[in-house]
C-alpha cells in the first residue's frame, strides 16, 4: 500500500465546531436522552430548508422507511412496488410489515426507477386484481428519479408514493428538493452520508397529522395517560437529543459539502473524459444532484473489479454499485418487473472515492491509478 488512506465517503465535521456547540448545550442542560430541544429544532430546521411542513427525527433512515410504510397503511399481505437497484434498507421494512415486495427495474437515463417498468407493473398486477399499497422510489447516489412521470403514475392509480432520499439530501428536481415531491420523504444521516448524526434518519411530509402519528408510534405508542398505557404496537425509533445536536451543526455546512461533492464529480468527469469505455453517471438538465458518490460505468476491456483492486492496493477505497434486490438471495423469490437494466448497471458500475476531505492531490492520485489500467 502507498499513501494515506482515501475513503469512499467518511464523516466530516465542521471546521467551525458547530456540532460541539449543540452537543455541549445538551450536556449542560443534562438533556442527553431521546427527545429534547435539539431534536425539535433539527426537525424544524430541516423541514424549513427543504420546504416541507413537518418532520420526524428517527434513529435510522430504515426506521423512517418503516414508519412511512406504516403511515401509508401497509400491512400483512399488501403489495409494495420497490426500486430494485438500491441498498437493502429500502426493501427490508416491507418485510417488517409482512408485506410483499415487487421489484421495479431502473433506466439508463436516471439509474433510478423506470417509469415504463412501473407502469407495466401496475398493469400486470391490475390484471390480477391486485393494487399496491405503496411505491418506494430511490434517488440513488444523489441522482434524482424522473419524479414527474412516477408521480403521474402513482396519482393515476391513487397509490402512496414514498421517496427514499437517503442519499440525495440537497438534490434538486426541477427546483424542488428530492424527498418533498411524494407523499413521504426519507433522509439518512448514517456515517457515510453527505451530512451525518453518526446514525439517524428523518421522515418528512406535508401531512402533519401523519407525522404526528409517526412520532407517537416511534416513542413506543405511549397513550396520554398518567400510567404507562399502550393501545397500539410501539417502536423505539426516536433520535437522541445528542445526535440531533450533531445534525443541527452538520445542517449548517450542508451547502459546503454539496459544493465539494459536485467539485469531485466534475474533476472525475474532466480527467476521465478521454478514457475509452468510461461513462460517468447520468446528469440531467432537469436535476441538480448533490453527487453524494461519483460513479462510472465501464464498457470495455477494463472491468469494475480491476479498478477496485488497483485502488485498494494503493490504500484507496471504492466499491461496486448496489447489487439489485431481485438478485439478492433473500429476495430472489419475489417478482421483478423490467428488462434487466439494473443488473447491467450493477455489473458494469464502480463508485469512486468521493470523500469531502479529498484534496486535489488525492483526486489526482486516484485518477492516475485508474488511467494506468489503460496503459
What CATH number does residue 265 fall under? 3.90.1150.10
Is residue 205 pLDDT above 60, yes or no? yes
Q: For residue 12, is it within any domain? A: no
Domain edge (last residue) among 192, 224, 251: 251
Inside any domain, residue 328:
yes
Residues 222 and 270 in one domain: no
Q: What is the pLDDT of residue 310?
A: 98
Q: What is the mean pLDDT of residues 255-264?
A: 98
Is the domain of 208 the same as that of 260? no
Q: Kindly state the average pLDDT of the residues 98-110.
A: 98
Q: What is the pLDDT of residues 29-44, one digit of tens each?
A: 888 777 889 999 999 9
- Examine the domain organization and report whether 242 and 330 are in the same domain: no
Parent domain of 321: 254-372
**Residue 148 in domain:** yes
Residue 315 and residue 2 in contact, taking contact as beta carbons nearer than 8 Å: yes
How far is 111 from 122, CA to CA, in rounded Å? 20
Q: Are residues 263 and 132 in the same domain?
A: no
Q: How many beta carbons lie within 10 A of that of residue 79, not counting itself?
A: 21
Q: Do 219 and 114 have their domain in common? A: yes
Domain boundary among 216, 251, 286: 251
Q: Are residues 259 and 239 in the same domain?
A: no
CATH of the domain at 226: 3.40.640.10
**Are 31 and 116 in the same domain?**
yes
| Residue 76: burial class (beta carbons within 10 Å; 0-12, 13-18, 19+) | exposed
Instruction: Give the per-residue pLDDT at 35.
Output: 83
Of 70, 133, 193, 215, which one is the catalytic site residue? 193
- What tens digit of pLDDT does each residue of 220-235 get? 999 998 999 999 999 9
135, 157 in Cβ contact below 8 A?
no
From 251, 274, 301, give the residue that closes a domain: 251
Report the alpha-carbon distance of residue 297 to residue 291 in Å, rounded: 15
Please give the C-alpha separations between residue 111 and each of 65, 179, 273, 337, in angstroms, as whole numbers. 21, 17, 20, 15
What mean pLDDT comes out for the span 316-332? 98
Render pLDDT for 120-152 as a digit per residue (tens, 0 to 9). 999 999 999 999 999 999 999 999 999 999 999
Catalytic residue check, 130: no
Cα distances (Å, whole numbers) of residue 321 to 85, 104, 186, 241 = 9, 17, 21, 34
Domain identity same for 212 and 327: no
Question: Distance between CA atoms of 164 and 155, rounded to whole angstroms?
Answer: 18
pTM beyond cutoff 0.95: yes
Amino acid at each position: 500500500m502507498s499513501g494515506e488512506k482515501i475513503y469512499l465517503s467518511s464523516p466530516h465535521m465542521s471546521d467551525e465546531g458547530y456540532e460541539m456547540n449543540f452537543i455541549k448545550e445538551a450536556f449542560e442542560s443534562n438533556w442527553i436522552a431521546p427527545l429534547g430541544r435539539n431534536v425539535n429544532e433539527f426537525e424544524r430546521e430541516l423541514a424549513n430548508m427543504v420546504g416541507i411542513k413537518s418532520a420526524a427525527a428517527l434513529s435510522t433512515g430504515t426506521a423512517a422507511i418503516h414508519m412511512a410504510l406504516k403511515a401509508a397503511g401497509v400491512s400483512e399481505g399488501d403489495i409494495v412496488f420497490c426500486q430494485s437497484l438500491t441498498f437493502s434498507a429500502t426493501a427490508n421494512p416491507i418485510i417488517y410489515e409482512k408485506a410483499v415486495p415487487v421489484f421495479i427495474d431502473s433506466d439508463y437515463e436516471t439509474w433510478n426507477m423506470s417509469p415504463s417498468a412501473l407502469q407495466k407493473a401496475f398493469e400486470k398486477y391490475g390484471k390480477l386484481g391486485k393494487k399496491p399499497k405503496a411505491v418506494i422510489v430511490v434517488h440513488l447516489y444523489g441522482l434524482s428519479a424522473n419524479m414527474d412521470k412516477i408521480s403521474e403514475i402513482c396519482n393515476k392509480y391513487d397509490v402512496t408514493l414514498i421517496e427514499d432520499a437517503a442519499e440525495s439530501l440537497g438534490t434538486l428536481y426541477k427546483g424542488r428538493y428530492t424527498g418533498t415531491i411524494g407523499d413521504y420523504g426519507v433522509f439518512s444521516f448514517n456515517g457515510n452520508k453527505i451530512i451525518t448524526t453518526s446514525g439517524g434518519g428523518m421522515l418528512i411530509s406535508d401531512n402533519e397529522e401523519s407525522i404526528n402519528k409517526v412520532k407517537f408510534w416511534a416513542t413506543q405508542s405511549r397513550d396520554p395517560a398518567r400510567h404507562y398505557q399502550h393501545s397500539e404496537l410501539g417502536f423505539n425509533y426516536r433520535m437522541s437529543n445528542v445526535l440531533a445536536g450533531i445534525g443541527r451543526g452538520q445542517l449548517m455546512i450542508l451547502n459546503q459539502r454539496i459544493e465539494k461533492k459536485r467539485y469531485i464529480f466534475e474533476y472525475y468527469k474532466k480527467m476521465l473524459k478521454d478514457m475509452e469505455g468510461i461513462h460517468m453517471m447520468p446528469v440531467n438538465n432537469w436535476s441538480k444532484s448533490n453527487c453524494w458518490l461519483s460513479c462510472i460505468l465501464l464498457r470495455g476491456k477494463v472491468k469494475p473489479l480491476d479498478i477496485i483492486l488497483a485502488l485498494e492496493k494503493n490504500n484507496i477505497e471504492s466499491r461496486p454499485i448496489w447489487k439489485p434486490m431481485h438478485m439478492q438471495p433473500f429476495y430472489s423469490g419475489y417478482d421483478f418487473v423490467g428488462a434487466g437494466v439494473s443488473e447491467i448497471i450493477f455489473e458494469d458500475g464502480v463508485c469512486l472515492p468521493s470523500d469531502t476531505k479529498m484534496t486535489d492531490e488525492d483526486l489526482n492520485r486516484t485518477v492516475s491509478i485508474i488511467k494506468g489500467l489503460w496503459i
